[in-house]
Amino acid sequence: MNITNEYQVTIELFAERHFIRTFAKKYKGAWDTTLDLLLAEFKFIDALFLKNTAEYITNKDADIVICKTEFKIAGTQESRHGSGNRCIVAIHKKSNQVKVLLVYYKTDLGGGSETGNWKNLIKESYKEYKDLL
């Protein structure tokens, strides 16, 4: 793994429209800082795997990799893991892009299996990733 790779980070419109708006409304200025920090982290996403802050969901050696990360809201005392806040991103290795597909709090997806729920949401909302999950 080369932690010096720098990625271009984009937030997909679906992610922006759904749960990000809720975070922005709930946390106001703290959300702006949190989002800036997330985008900075995703710019060098390979380093997150070294810190066990991100986990591969699909084959880590593929050109496009889906992964899950945890984050905390800036200025809060909770840990990344304890916060219940998650991001699902697609790493496009050949083009050095990270696409933020979903940003959510664990109960945003309803009851049942959190993983099953977000995988289904990604499959329904992003046809280009359907076959990866």
Q: Which pair of structure tokens corresponds to residue 106?
A: 């664990």
**Do 19 and 12 meet the contact criterion of CB atoms below 8 Å apart?**
no
Domains of the chain: 8-132 (3.30.2310.20)
Q: What are phi and psi of 75, to 5 degrees?
A: 85, -5
Residue 29 has a pLDDT of: 87
Query: How many other C-beta atoms can be found within 10 angstroms of the C-beta atom of residue 123?
Result: 14
Q: What is the pLDDT of residues 89-98, one digit of tens each?
A: 999 999 999 9
Reported as a single tens digit per residue, the pLDDT across 107-127 is 999 888 999 999 999 999 999
By residue count, the chain amounts to 133
Contact 109, 34 (CB under 8 A): no
Over the stretch 2-33, which tens digit does the pLDDT of each residue have?
A: 666 899 999 999 999 989 999 999 998 899 99
pLDDT at 51: 87
State residue 81's pLDDT score: 87
H or E element that contains 48? helix 46-50
The SS3 assignment for 111 reads coil
Q: How far apart are CA 74 and CA 93, in angstroms?
A: 29
pLDDT digits (tens, 9 = 90+) for 28-78: 889 999 999 999 999 999 999 988 889 999 999 999 999 999 999 999 998
